[in-house]
Structure 1
Amino acid sequence: MIQTNKDIAYYYNQKANEMLVSGNYIDATEYYKKALSHMPEEVIFYHNIGVGYMLREDYLKALTFFEIAVEKGLELDEIKLYIALSLYKTHQYAKILELLEPEENKNKIDFLIIKSKAALKVGNVQVAREAVNQLKINGFDSQELELIEKMIKI
């Protein structure tokens, strides 16, 4: 049976997913790239490569692939969080303040924590305060949030 590029791409993507679950992030990333080479129009592959790099703690490469996925039209709440995390890890704090926040509660909470810390890093206490207030409205409470609140009041 002759396989199409789509069949091959999804085979590589599935293999990469399995590798990712088993913690083999390096090979997973390479298999996601193989999938992409067979179907460069499939935006989820860009996202998946970004996840592979993020799990490898190569946040700059992860950010590149996440941004490509968004440019190509991928709209996932988790990608907003992953972009914020990648920006934070690469010390691009001001860019985080420009991002739209996720709508889904768990991603939104994690995003707002990152946003509040980034705001403090660039000295924007007002944005940090707004993020903390949103977290409290959403019922979130943690030691980290208390620490951020203390930093805002200093």
Structure 2
Amino acid sequence: MTDAADRVLLVKPYRDHWTIPGGVVGHNEPPDRAWEAREELSLALPSERPLVMSWLAAHDPIPHPMIGFIFDGGHINDPASIHIDADELEDFAFFPLPEATRRLHHAAAYTLPIAAQARATGVPRYLSYMAAPGPVLKAADTASFGQGCSGYGPIS
């Protein structure tokens, strides 16, 4: 989700870092419905198109692999229409893409610029992450779902 100036919406849960709006899907809840974002932000979002699908290998402290999705939440024309759920979020703000990326944690920081590129080109992306020691996350990146190439990305 972006504002009229194309700045990225991030939310601040009660943790050390900002994150992309959304969360964990519930039992039998389809990921493309963005219920969590609606609950957290009180926004009526359109049915989003997929931008990124990712797989993250199990790593400390996460004992199981994770599958993630980023959908295009569209543009928010009136930021005053956002009302955060104070039980779940501390704050929200819009940031230019480079600053938003710096505020995110590891995999999301690598994935956000790829999601922005997918939004601009209309070509969704698939990423497969293998955790590595230090601040580098290795990713096999495909140009679109079902077509492959490989690459690596630093996490800052």
Instruction: Report the TM-score, using the length of structure 1 for normalisation.
Output: 0.30
Structure with the larger helix share: 1
**Structure showing the higher strand proportion among its residues:** 2
Per chain length, whose mean CA-contact separation is higher, i.e. which structure has more relative contact order (CA < 8 Å, sep 6+)?
A: 2
- Structure number with larger C-alpha Rg: 1
Q: Given the two structures, how large is their TM-score scaled by the length of structure 2?
A: 0.30
